[in-house]
A and B are shown apart, each in its own frame.
Chain A
Amino acid sequence: MSTQLNSKIPAGPLGDKWSSYKEDVKLVNPNNKRKFKVIVVGTGLAGASAAATLAELGYQVDAFTFHDSPRRAHSIAAQGGINAAKNYQGDGDSVHRLFHDTIKGGDFRSREANVHRLAEVSVNIIDQMVAQGVPFAREYGGLLDNRSFGGAQVSRTFYARGQTGQQLLLGAYQQLARQIGLGGVRLFNRTELVDVVTVEGRAAGIVVRDLITGEVTSHAAHAVVMATGGYGNAFFLSTNAMSCNVTAAWRAHRKGAYFANPCYTQIHPTCIPQSDEFQSKLTLMSESLRNDGRVWVPKSPDESRRVADIPEEDRDYYLERLYPSFGNLAPRDISSRAAKRLVDKGQGVGPLKNGVYLDFADAIARLGIDVVKERYGNLFDMYERIAGENPYDIPMRIYPASHYTMGGLWVDYELMTSIPGLYAAGEANFSDHGANRLGASALMQGLSDGYFVLPYTIGNYLAPMLNKAIPSVDHPEFKAAELAARERFAGYLNIGGTRSPDWFHREVGKIIWDYCGMERTEQGLEKALSELPALYDEFKKDLRVTGSGESLNQTLEKAGRVDDFFQLGMLMCRDALERQESCGGHFRTEYQTEEGEALRDDDKFCHVAAWEWSGDPMTAKRNIEELEFENVHLATRSYK
C-alpha cells in the first residue's frame, strides 16, 4: 500500500510552530557557511531571493537560468499584487485571518502549518521589499496603499500599478545581481537543467545543457533548490510565458521526488480569448475589471445582430442571474465554469464564438468615460492592442485560461522534497495553496520561500554535513545522467519524422484542456488516458527537429520540454481521475452540489496525493499525506 509521508511539522500550537522551529534549528557557523555549496535552479521570485539570501549568509551559490538574464523569469508577469497581514488599513486583518482565508481559499486541501508560516512571514516580505526600493503604490500621506482582492474581506493587497510582479522580481533580481557582482553567486545563464543527480540517496547536483553551445555538463553541490515555476503550459495555451515548462520538476520527479496534486490547476476567468489557430498564448486581463464590467452572452446561440443592436431582453447577464449576491464578482473557478458552459452551448461571442462579453457600457453611463479611463485605461489600451477593438465602444471579450498550478513537487515543512537535499520553492512546490490559490498569494509564497524559509531550513540539513566533500562530477551517477541527456537530445534530432514539437505541444495541450481543464469527468479522463499514450508514441516516432545539437536550437529545446509535458499530462489525468471529489480548481462534474458548486469528500480525500515515479507515468504510485485540521473547521466553501 501507499507510504505515509512525513511532513516534519514541528510540534506545539499552530502559532508557535515556526518560531519554535527557528529556535531549535541547527545552525552553520558563519565561517563554515563558505564550505557549503548550494545550487539554485531558476531565478524568479523564489530562486533569486533564495540565491541572494544564501549568498548573503555566506554559502557558495551557483544560480542557473535558461533565460538570458535572471530578470526575465515569469514572476515578472504577475499583475495584481501581493498579500500581507499588515493591517495597515485598520480593517481587522491579522496573521490568523490571512491564514484562514488562504486555507479556505485553497478549499481545505493545504497544510495548516505551512500556510500559517506563510501568513506570519508575509509581514516581513513587505518590509524587505520596501527596503529594497520596490515602488509600491502610496497614499497621498506617503504611506502604503492597499486594495482588496478576491476571497478576502479586508484590504491587504500591496501593489505597484499593474506591474507588482515585475517590481518584486526586479527587487529580488537586484539583490541577486548585487551578490553576483560581489562574487557570492556564480550565475549560469542560458543554461537549462536536463537532469537531477542523486548519490547514495541524497541530491548531489544537476546536469545542465548550455543552450548556446549544446554542451552537457554536471554541477555538484551539497544541496539543490528547484525554483522552476509551474506547469501551466501543459495546456499549450495558457497565460504562462512561452518557455515556462515542467522539465526541471519532472526530471527531479523521475529521480525520486514525489509529485503532489498535479490535477490542481487554476483557471483565470478574464483572459482575452483565442483569436486564431496559430495563437501561441493567452493574455490575462486583470480581474479588477469585473468590479465595473458586466458579463453577458446573447440568449440565443444564433444571434447575428451587432452588439449594440441586441436589446436587453435578449442578453443573459448570467453571473448576476446565477449568483445574485456576488454577481460579476463571483470567484474565479465559479465564473470560469459558468462561461465555459455557455460557450459550450453555442452562446459564445466573437468570430470563433469562444468568449463572453465583459461590458462597460453601464459603467461608462454611470461613472462617465473619464472615471472608467482613469481606473482601467491601461488595461483598455492593452486590450485594444491585442484584440484590435476599442473596449469603450465594443464590449471586451473574455474567456478563462490556465493561469497557475497549485500542484508541484511534494515538499515537507522544510521545503525539502522526498529526495534529501533537494528543495523546491515557489510555484514549483505544492505546499501552500491547496486546491486553489487566492489572488495576490503567488508572489507572497515565492518570496516567503526564498527569503524567509529556505535560508533557515537548508542550514538544518547542511549543518551535520560539515566537512563532507561534495560528490565529484566524475561520479558514475553524473556520467550516466550526462550520457542519458546527450542521448535523449540526439534522439529527438534523429527521429526525422514530420511534425514539429509545437504541433505535438498543441495537440497534447488540447487533450489536457478538453478533459483535464475546467471540468473533468471520469469518462473524459479515461479517454484522455487512452489518447495521451497513443499520441506520445506518435511523438516518439514522428517528431521532426531540424538544426543541430551543437548550437543554439530552440526547436530542440522545445522537444525536450514537450516530452516532459506528455508524461506530466498523463499524471495530471491520473491524479484527476483518482481524486473522486471536487475541490478548488479540480472540478469533477460527478461531484457537485445542487447549485453546481464543488463538492468535497473530506472522509476519503482530505489528503495530498504524492505520486512516486515508477518508470512510467501510467503506473506511477500514489502515496498519501493525510491533512490534519486542528485549527480550522472544514466547512463548505461558500461565497454566496
Chain B
Amino acid sequence: MRTAKQRVVGALWVLLLTGLITACDEENPPVIRMASTTSLDNSGLLDVLLPRFQQESGIAVRVLAVGSGQAIRIAERGDADLIFVHHPEAEHNFLAGGFGTQRYPVMYNHFVLLGPDTDPAGIRDAPSVEAAFLAIARQRSPFISRGDQSGTHMAERALWKSAGHQPRGGWYREVGSGMGATLQMAVAQSAYTLSDPATWLAFKRPGELEILLGRKAGMRNVYSILPVNPGRHPHVKYKYVMRFIDWLSGDAGQQLVRNFRPRGEQAFSLLPAE
C-alpha cells in the first residue's frame, strides 16, 4: 500500500511540475504581449496579422483583448510590451507620463451609429452626429453606452460633450461591457448604440440593427500602436516590438490590412506613415 501511495504522490508531483514548466517555457520562441482593444481582436484582424508576423519573424504576439482604457493602464503598470488602441487623448497622456516611447498611427475607420430600422428618433437624415444624439435624447429613445472606459466609450462621451448634452435617465443605459455584448443588448432592446465598424461587420445579423449614421465629422476612429518605454519598465521587449511595427508598416503588413474585408467590406483604411 505504501508504494501505491507513493506512486500517487509521485504522479501528482509530476503534474504540478508540468504545470509550472508550462508557465516558464513561454520565452522560446520570443513572445511579446500586446494589450489591444477588443474591436481589433473581435473583428478578426489580429487573427490575420499575427500568425503571418510570427511566421515571418519567429516572434509570437500574445493578445490581451481589453478596452483601450484598461489596455493603457495595463501598459502603465508594465504588464504589456505594447498597446494597439484607439483613444488619442489617453494615448497622448500615456506619452506625456513617460510610459510610451512614441505614437504610431496605423489605420482608421469611422464609428457607426446603429439603431432599429424603425428609427423612433428619426436620426437617419440628421445633419451631424451631435444632432442625432440630441434627437435620441429628446425622444428618450433607448441608447446603450459601453460604459467601460474603452476607446469607443470615450468617443461617445466626447460626442455627447460636443452636442452639449449630459445624457441621463432610464433611456441611457451604461452596460459596462465589450462591443459584442453591447451590440447584443442593443439588438435585444431595439436601442441605439455607437459601434466601431469592424466589430459591427463581424457581428451583424441580418434584420437586427442598421447603420443609421456614419462618416460624419467627429466619427473618425484612429488606431495607433505605442511601445512601452523601456526606460520606465526595463523588462519590456522593445526590440521585438519595433520589429512588429516595422513589419506592420512594411508591404506585407499593409497589404494584409488593406485586404482585410470581413463580409466583403473594407474594415480599416491605412494611414500614411508619419
A complexed with B: no
Name B's A-contacting residues (CB within 8 A): none
